[in-house]
Chain A
Amino acid sequence: MRTKRLLLTVAGLGLSTVMTWAATATLMSVQIRKADIRDTPSFMGKILTSASYGDKVTIQSENGAWFQVNTPGQSGWMHSSALTKKNIVMKSGAGAQTSASSGEMALAGKGFNSDVESQFKTNHKDIDFTWVDKMEKIKIPAPEIKAFAKAGQLEFQGGVK
């Protein structure tokens, strides 16, 4: 009887640990400025919507390096490199300081940020950021990337779609 009770206790504890993990692991934060959500787990998939830095998404399932995510009002696929398990907090607030020490939270805009860049620019007037800003604006739209692959007869992984 004692053995049975012990086993049940251990099993119950194990199950609750798994359930707790599953419940906490399903929420992730967008760690890049803008992340597209697509209709299939592929960059060639149609873009349904996008999420912004710090937005929270619920993970529904996995397919290779892709997560099927839910955001308010939309479901689709996002590449795992756009997401982090850390809770990205956009604004400082009560409790943020203590959570920060746990390593499970990242405060957006901390550390090396635009203020530090401004200070750097003040100290180094000879370093010109004009072309960096120009570079950043060069973003080839997804349909043009697809057309480039098609015109070049590139047989990429996942098949030509």
Chain B
Amino acid sequence: MKYLIIIPAVLGMLLAGCATINSVTEMGAGLAAATGVINADQAQSITKSVSAVGKVFESITPEQEYYIGRTVTATILSKNKPYDNRAMTTYLNTLGQYLSLFSDRPETFGGYHFLVMDTPDINAFAAPGGFIMVSRGMLRCCKSEEALAGVLAHEIGHVELNHGLQAIDKSRLTAAATILGTEAAKNLGGKDLAELTKTFENSISDITSTVMNSGYARKFEFQADKAAVTILMRSGYSPNGLVSMLQQMEKNLKPGGHDFAKTHPAPQDRIAELTKLITTTHPADTTARQARFDDTMRGL
């Protein structure tokens, strides 16, 4: 009868052991310590901080992502006036919300929403949670619904891949982890609320300065282009629309501009990467789509 007690106990210990190995990095730190690259204390420190960051990032729920996205959007719109055109806004949202259904993350806390910014600069921003803004300058790079679909699908890709949230300096979140994760946070008092708001402000600043000034890492842009190709193929649009938009953008961009000229890889680099991904052509008739696109964009 001893077996009945001992065997489950041993297996339980094994299972518990597996559960503690929660990341490749943790194993990497252990290996580095074992081989003498770093000492045991350093390994433990790395393991602890990686684990904390992982937990903190996980702790940003879709609901919190939504609140971050709202404030990022308000901050971007404080510097870029919205273009108040009902027909264009409806068209943009119909196309954008249709495309979002074909992403790997069609459901966000508050859904996907789109807006035109009244500026000739060539810009498009995706705030966490699905708030997407494109400039009139960007719309001028689009000569077809296919091309506009390419722009929106790229921005949806940034949302789907959490690129905005990844721009937040992790140390901020680690510092605020206790407040972020506790039950009491729901009804925070003055000091804790002030501290959490400071973390929030800094997180917003990390995201807006990245998307508006420094730009994402090139690999994020290529990842968003890849996600866009997937969305376009699934939704029935030719991914070549994105290529034709980039060709037009190359003509429209002004060297030294504070827009895509500064924050994104050169259009020809993106086209080169996209060409590797696009394997099929879409011969579908685009007449009806072109007509409604031209109709909406008239007067832009």
Question: What residues of chain A have their CB less than 8 Å away from a CB belonging to chain B?
Answer: 2, 5-6, 9-10, 13, 31-33, 35, 43, 53, 65, 79, 81-82, 92, 96-97, 100-101, 103, 106-117, 119-120, 123-124, 126-129, 131-132, 135-136, 138-140, 144-145, 148-149, 151-157
Which residues on the A side are within 8 Å of B234 (C-beta)? 156-157
Q: Are A111 and B75 in contact (CB under 8 A)?
A: no
Q: Are B74 and A113 in contact (CB under 8 A)?
A: no
- Cβ of B199 to closest chain A Cβ, rounded Å: 8
Q: How far is the CA of A120 from the CA of B203 in the complex (A)?
A: 12
Which residues on the A side are within 8 Å of B180 (C-beta)? 110-112
Q: Are B90 and A140 in contact (CB under 8 A)?
A: yes
Q: Are A97 and B77 in contact (CB under 8 A)?
A: no
Q: Are A132 and B73 in contact (CB under 8 A)?
A: yes
Interface 0/1 of B168-191, CB less than 8 Å to A? 000000000001111101101000
Q: Are A154 and B78 in contact (CB under 8 A)?
A: no
Which residues on the A side are within 8 Å of B60 (C-beta)? 111-112
Which residues on the A side are within 8 Å of B292 (C-beta)? 151-152
Q: How far is the CA of A156 from the CA of B111 in the complex (A)?
A: 21
- Residue from B71, B73, B108, B288 having most chain A Cβ neighbours under 10 A: B71
Q: Are A110 and B101 in contact (CB under 8 A)?
A: no
Which residues on the A side are within 8 Å of B237 (C-beta)? 154
Known: A79-B106, A111-B179. A145 touches B97 (CB 8 A): yes
Which residues on the B side are within 8 Å of A156 (C-beta)? 102, 234-236
Which residues on the B side are within 8 Å of A114 (C-beta)? 67
Known: A43-B106, A157-B102. A119 touches B235 (CB 8 A): no
Whether B68 sits at the interface, judged by CB under 8 Å, is yes
Give which listed residue, A65, A103, A110, contacts B55 with CB less than 8 A. A103
Q: Are B289 and A153 in contact (CB under 8 A)?
A: yes
Interface 0/1 of B98-135, CB less than 8 Å to A? 10011011111111011100000000000000010000
Secondary structure at the B interface, as helix, strand, loop or mixed, is helix
Question: What residues of chain B have their CB less than 8 Å away from a CB belonging to chain A?
Answer: 3-4, 7-8, 11, 55, 58-64, 66-68, 70-71, 73-75, 77-78, 82, 89-90, 93-95, 97-98, 101-102, 104-111, 113-115, 131, 145, 179-183, 185-186, 188, 193-194, 196-197, 200-201, 203-204, 233-237, 284-285, 288-289, 292
Give which listed residue, B93, B109, B179, B203, contacts A32 with CB less than 8 A. B109
Q: Are B77 and A131 in contact (CB under 8 A)?
A: yes
Give which listed residue, B75, B93, B106, B200, contacts A138 with CB less than 8 A. B93
Give which listed residue, B8, B71, B106, B111, contacts A13 with CB less than 8 A. B8
Q: Are A32 and B62 in contact (CB under 8 A)?
A: yes
Known: A31-B61, A153-B289. A136 touches B78 (CB 8 A): no
Q: How far is the CA of A153 from the CA of B70 in the complex (A)?
A: 34
Interface pairs A-B: 6 shortest CB-CB: A154-B236, A82-B107, A111-B180, A81-B107, A112-B64, A119-B197
Which residues on the A side are within 8 Å of B204 (C-beta)? 120
Known: A35-B107, A112-B68, A136-B110. A151 touches B131 (CB 8 A): no
